[in-house]
Amino acid sequence: MRKFSPDWFRQQFPALHEPNCYLDSAATSLRPQAMIEATQAYYQTGGTVHRSHYSQAKETTERYEACRQQVAALINAADANQIIWTRGSTESINLVADAWLAHQLHPGDEILVSEVEHHANLLPWLMLAEKTGANIVRWPVNAEGELEIEQLALRLTSRTRLVAVTQMSNVTGYVPPMADIIVLAHQAGVAVLVDGAQGIVHQATDVQQWDADFYVFSGHKLYGPTGIGVLYARKDRLDEMRPIQGGGKMISHVDFNGYRLLPAPWCFEPGTPNIAGVIGLASTLDFHQTVDWQAAEAWTLKLADHAAAQLATLPGITLFRAAASPIISFVFRSLHSADLFTLISEHNVALRVGQHCAQPLMQALGVHGTLRASFAAYNTDDDVEKLVKAVTFAYQLLTEEE
């Protein structure tokens, strides 16, 4: 039976057994005890996958492969074999760039990237364009920091080969109209890669309903382990991909005359994988099955709304927050965010400060950087109070010195 109570949920996270105010979940979430125990149990028992036939290795391989099905169910992929393990969203995007798009690009072709993107969904395309002579086309945000479908339509051309867009901004929490974006791109014959690193934990995701060509996310933003990520590829796109690395476990035969690849996804996973990461992710997804995520997200947004309303009363503050967002970025007029951050940290409030790996969006918003508070379902009303108190203290102290 799925359930959610703020107290019960918080108790599942050992990092919060002390009165910590953790508001940096957009960078990485904390981990539940069940995930920690599963990872520890794997390291205590050992064993590898796809190589050995003793009982422990077989059991580990079965659990490892079953996690593909769990991920497929999470994002409603048609087939678990459309799930490729990577080290995270960044490697997943680079894999699409090198294994799919690189051999199709010609000089003058275009990759359309939104201005909202994290650097992980911009730099791989810039690097690929540099190597191939392709061009990067910017899809700009409007004055509210949002993307407009009309602007996308204007930028799609016969040379466009891919649209790269996030499911949720890691700066403002803005959610682009993904279904509309994909329909418009596909009408123009253009593939779409969706960066789900932020969105996966806050939104129900259905890659079939969207008809996404590629979808990526990282375990560590989903209450799971670091170092494990997912690349989902639509079946026709998967068939067009070419392995870019060679090694063990990806072939059915090899000799000095050549080799035969295993089918996808295994041909894209050479070498000994992050077994503990997959086992930990599997346990995290087991944990997910016990939680009413609609109620959890409603609680998260209630906290963020309350915090934003209180912060907005402070003189000189500018909030960068989309509607119904778990993320609040903010700056103060005439005050340096790093100075504020130093004082806030003295109150044991964990925030983020800087450009959040989103420099183009910062430029579009007209700021050098922001402070960012990002809420998750384990946060409490007490966290809101601590945040507002710490920010108010820092603001008052710095303005007194002016």
**Among candidate residues 68, 62, 97, 100, the one with its CA nearest the CA of residue 84:** 68
**pLDDT for 25:** 98
For the segment(s) 35-289, the CATH number from 1.10.10.10, 1.10.3720.10, 3.40.1280.10, 3.40.640.10 is 3.40.640.10
Q: What is the pTM of this model?
A: 0.97
Domains 6-30+292-400 and 35-289 share a fold: no
**pLDDT for 402:** 53
Q: What is the pLDDT of residues 298-349, one digit of tens each?
A: 999 999 999 999 999 999 999 999 999 999 999 999 899 999 999 999 999 9
**pLDDT for 401:** 56
Q: What mean pLDDT comes out for the span 259-264?
A: 96
**Among candidate residues 316, 317, 299, the one with its CA nearest the CA of residue 308:** 317
Record the tokens describing residue 333, joined without a space. 């007029």
Domain boundaries defined on the chain: 6-30+292-400, 35-289
**pLDDT for 127:** 98
User: In CATH terms, is domain 6-30+292-400 a member of 3.90.1150.10?
Assistant: yes
Residue 167 predicted with pLDDT over 90 = yes
Q: What is the pLDDT of residues 174-213, one digit of tens each?
A: 999 999 999 999 999 999 999 999 999 999 999 999 999 9
Would you tell me the crossing angle of helices 275-288 and 33-45 to the nearest 10 degrees?
A: 150
Residue tagged active-site, from 21, 67, 267, 357: 357
Residue 217: in which H helix or E strand, if any? strand 214-218
**pLDDT for 56:** 79
**Among candidate residues 181, 252, 226, the one with its CA nearest the CA of residue 91:** 226
Q: Is 357 a catalytic residue?
A: yes
In contact, 171 and 141? CB cutoff 8 Å: no
Residue 52 predicted with pLDDT over 80 = no
Q: What is the pLDDT of residues 76-98, one digit of tens each?
A: 999 999 999 999 999 999 999 99
